[in-house]
A and B are shown apart, each in its own frame.
Chain A
Amino acid sequence: AQSVAQPEDQVNVAEGNPLTVKCTYSVSGNPYLFWYVQYPNRGLQFLLKYITGDNLVKGSYGFEAEFNKSQTSFHLKKPSALVSDSALYFCAVRDTTTSGTYKYIFGTGTRLKVLA
């Protein structure tokens, strides 16, 4: 079965330090991977995606993610965290089993807390 795992419920990091939010996936065929962020009382905002090409994907707000096929991972990273990055982050993979739907399979989310 296709799935996404976000092993950490919460990640704490000091402002200015690098951050990593982990995501691993299981999917048949080529993975199409996404990161979304949810700020309080807001919807899910698209951060970045991996479809094909370079393993390092750059996205919004200075975030990037590294696709690693051998480890089936797609970790979200940022070189220097800001307090305003504190939010709930979701990793998702596009379902490849149902033709024409392209629905997402999400992880359980990781709450990032950046401490001043």
Chain B
Amino acid sequence: EAGVTQFPSHSVIEKGQTVTLRCDPISGHDNLYWYRRVMGKEIKFLLHFVKESKQDESGMPNNRFLAERTGGTYSTLKVQPAELEDSGVYFCASSQVPRNEQFFGPGTRLTVL
């Protein structure tokens, strides 16, 4: 069974540009989560999808971040325009039911210059 995959693995952009991160959850997992680890700090929750619906987006930092999950399969996280403080590692995770353990992808390392 394939695990959670994320693309790209690394992205380097300039301040003001747009970047889109993609996450493909484990097949059949309705629950998809985005997290972020900034500058060696704790990993912080961004949002949670159940299928295509946003269950909880309380962790989204501001309106420069837009997450979508059209069709309830893969998800994208767009940052527009990117700022320096957006640099970090963005993790995606999925679970079959919310109370089960979450399976994480390898992360996307975003560097904003």
Residues of B33-54 at the interface with A, using a CB-CB cut-off of 8 Å, are: 33, 35, 40-45, 48, 50
Residue of A nearest to B104 (CB): A44
Interface presence of A105 (CB below 8 A): yes
Residues in B neighbouring A43, C-beta threshold 8 A: 3-4, 6, 91, 104-107
B80 at the A interface (CB under 8 A): no
Contact yes or no, B56 A98, CB < 8 A: yes
Interchain CB contact (< 8 A) of A105 among B6, B45, B101, B102: B45
Q: Are A49 and B104 in contact (CB under 8 A)?
A: no
Residues of chain A contacted by B50 (CB below 8 angstroms): 100
Cα-based distance from A64 to B38 in the complex (angstroms): 28
CB-based contact B44/A106 at 8 Å = yes
B42 adjacent to A106 (CB under 8 Å): yes
A103 touches B3 (CB 8 A): no
Q: Which segment of A11-19, A34-42, A65-73, A75-83 sits at the interface? A: A34-42
| Assembled-state Cα–Cα distance A90/B91 (Å) | 13
Shortest distance from the beta carbon of A61 to any chain B beta carbon, whole Å: 16
Complex interface residues of chain A between 41 and 97 (CB less than 8 A to chain B):
41-46, 49, 90, 92, 94-95
| Residues B43 and A106 in contact, CB atoms below 8 Å apart | yes
Closest residue to B97 on the A side, CB-wise? A102
Any A CB within 8 A of the CB of B98: yes
Within 8 A of A (CB), among B1-60: 3-4, 6, 33, 35, 40-45, 48, 50, 55-56, 58-59
Asked if B65 CB lies within 8 Å of chain A CBs, one says no
11 further A-B pairs in the complex, CB-CB below 8 A; given A94-B99, A105-B42: A42-B106, A43-B4, A43-B106, A44-B104, A46-B104, A98-B56, A98-B58, A101-B48, A103-B59, A106-B42, A109-B43
Chosen A-B contacts, 18 in total, with CB atoms closer than 8 Å, are A32-B99, A43-B105, A43-B107, A46-B102, A98-B58, A100-B98, A101-B56, A103-B45, A103-B48, A103-B56, A104-B35, A104-B45, A105-B45, A106-B35, A106-B42, A106-B43, A108-B40, A109-B42
